[in-house]
Amino acid sequence: MSRIAFEMRDQMDDMSEADFKDTMGLSKSEFRDYLKTAADQEDNCLAQEGEPAPNFAAHTLNAEGSISSGLLDLSDLRGAPVSLIFGCYTCPVFRRQSDRMKQLIKHYDGRVQFVFVYVLEAHPTDGWNTESNRAAGVMYAQTINLEDRAKVANNWRSAYEFENPVVLDWPDNRINADYAGEPERLYVLDGDGIVTFKSEQGPYYDNHLEDWAAALEKVVLSN
């Protein structure tokens, strides 16, 4: 589970219900439910360091924002290192880390295949919304079909100008189930499809991107 979530849990008992809800945007009971869901997802995660990455095939986002007719199959990327970047527009931490992500993607361009996996929204307007999202105008309901997910993903990609492939997780969130990727997570796979790096469950601190950077350097040197 995310260290950020752990720290908030540890502070929870020292806060009144009203103060907690004002700070977090949800009740203590709702936050405990969130922590349990995150823990269950991690327990069921199939992607583990040193083991083959779970394969998936899914539609990608076309340049103009439409959904690809074909599927990107992860196994087709074998032969060169791959980094899977899980995230969503309504995760404020994921948005904040975009500049450093772009720096690293540019640095390793041509040596690592970067693929974004767009997952369900972390803080939708019809769920756990946040003040930072309201202030930024990032206001989206939870997506219920692939078309809705593509629209939000395209708005995110346009806002942050990422050019790498964006895989759209299926409405049943099957890729997320295998990777426990929400609301953000980083993976590195070697050329044989073996997981060589798995970040902690997000949201994670900005300095954890440097762990990713070290993992990218290591897989490039060993490939």
Q: Which of 197, 34, 184, 198 lies closest to 101, judged by CA? A: 184
Task: Give the helix/strand (H/E) hosting 35.
Answer: helix 28-43
pLDDT tens for each residue of the chain, 223 residues long: 566 666 666 777 777 888 777 777 778 888 888 888 888 999 999 999 999 999 999 999 999 999 999 999 999 999 999 999 999 999 999 999 999 999 999 999 999 999 999 999 999 999 999 999 999 999 999 999 999 999 999 999 999 999 999 999 999 999 999 999 999 999 999 999 999 999 999 888 899 999 999 999 999 999 7
194 CB burial (10 A radius; 0-12, 13-18, 19+)? middle
- Give me the residue spans of the domains in the chain: 1-43, 47-222
**CA torsion through residues 173, 176, 181, 186, sign:** negative
Fold of 47-222: Glutaredoxin (3.40.30)
Both tokens assigned to 156: 């995110």
Query: By three-state DSSP, how is residue 15 classified?
Result: coil
